[in-house]
Amino acid sequence: MIGNEMNPKNIEHIIVLFFCFILFFLLGEAGMRVYLNYHTLYDEEMSRYSLVLKRDSNNPLIGHEHIPNKTMKLMNVMVRINSDGFRCKEYSVSKSNKTRIILLGDSITFGWGVEEEETFASILERKLNKIRPTEVINFGTGNYNTEQEVNLFIEKGLKYKPDKVVVFYFINDVEPAPKKSAAWFLAHSRLITFYWSRMHILAEKFCRSKRYEEYYANLYKDDQPGLVRAECAFLRLRGICNKNNIRLQVVMIPELHDPKNYPFKTEYGVISAFLGKSNIESLDLTQYFRTFNDPMELWVARDDAHPNKKAHMLIAEHTIDFIK
């Protein structure tokens, strides 16, 4: 019995180690927060976006949504969410004689890392207004898939009585809807977020299945539920638009790691074929980005391949004729 008792010195060692760990963590957390006052890291900013600008949705098919009337600085640009939860100016629910278009999409449509007036949604509205009075309402929300985008439109979009809905599709829009982690509170720590991000980068480097090319390609295999759910969402949206006399279009935005030698031709071909078979108009923008030898010329930051101001302008320029 006595042999099973813990040595007092061992207890002291454990206590010392525990307090050393706490001290290390607190110093590391403080140091990381000071560092982030002068530097911008993509994963840290995306974590802050989720914590400050998002909330759980009452609709499980939507998952999360923006908190209305919130404003914060992300990726060195101001982000303003209007009273209905969208990153755009206020639009009256009652419709005027202006043509009204709703854009559905994820963080790219949202305009991650780009000033609001420089997003392709804002640029398209300005260009279309030179042709006829037009309102473009941007429903883009970070970390959405196609199913979430469609359900957001059903819940909040129909009341605006749009003349047209344009889905801006991206390669990862067939991902399963993200589920909130049981350890979500750890995202409040800038130090933990940093180390989690570095571990993810290492896993991607040394594990083939974790690399973005392999990961995205696997999403488009016939047995993947995310692909099936995305196709069902498109068909549901088509039915709703037909019923309400709304024109539906889809614009496919290329992934920008290697636009010159685009690695996802097969995957986008799957979506293009499905849309064509379903009588849904679509435009693939991949061809318009093949001239760029240096993909970072189009990136928001060196660690963030979201489209920058230049890329948003190109998206708008090559989409305007299709939409108008």
Tens-digit pLDDT profile for residues 297-306: 999 999 999 9
In this predicted model, which residue has the larger pLDDT, 105 or 205? 105
Structural domains of the chain in order of their starting residue, each with its CATH number: 68-178+206-323 (3.40.50.1110)
Percent with pLDDT over 70 in the chain: 90
Question: Is a pLDDT exceeding 70 seen at residue 185?
Answer: no
At a CB cut-off of 8 Å and minimum separation 6, what does 113 contact?
Answer: 74, 75, 76, 77, 300, 301, 304, 306, 308
pTM of the model as a whole: 0.86
Q: Is the dihedral of CA 318, 126, 243, 66 positive or negative?
A: positive
Please give the Cα distance from 118 to 301 (Å, whole number).
Answer: 16
If you search the block for the tokens 């090559």, which residue do you land on? 318
If you search the block for the tokens 């589920």, which residue do you land on? 179
Please give the Cα distance from 18 to 130 (Å, whole number).
Answer: 66
pLDDT value, residue 5: 61
The rounded mean pLDDT for the chain is 90
What string of DSSP letters covers 39-108? ---HHHHHHHHHHHHEEE-SSTTT-EEEPTT-EEEETTEEEE--TTS-SS----SS--SSEEEEEE-SHH
pLDDT band at 64 (very low <50, low <70, confident <90, very high): very high
Question: Is a pLDDT exceeding 50 seen at residue 1?
Answer: no
pLDDT value, residue 163: 98
Tens-digit pLDDT profile for residues 93-152: 999 999 999 999 999 999 999 999 999 999 999 999 999 999 999 999 999 999 999 999
Which residue, among 154, 162, 166, has the nearest Cα to 99 in the 3D structure? 162
Question: Is a pLDDT exceeding 60 seen at residue 4?
Answer: no
In this predicted model, which residue has the larger pLDDT, 251 or 29? 251
Q: What's the average model confidence in pLDDT over 72-96?
A: 96
pLDDT value, residue 252: 98
Pair 88, 116: CB distance under 8 Å:
yes
Q: Which of 21-35, 173-187, 233-247 is least confident?
A: 173-187
Query: Residues 224, 110, 186, CA angle at the centre, nearest 5°?
Result: 70
* Residue positions counted in the chain: 324
Q: What's the average model confidence in pLDDT over 62-78?
A: 97
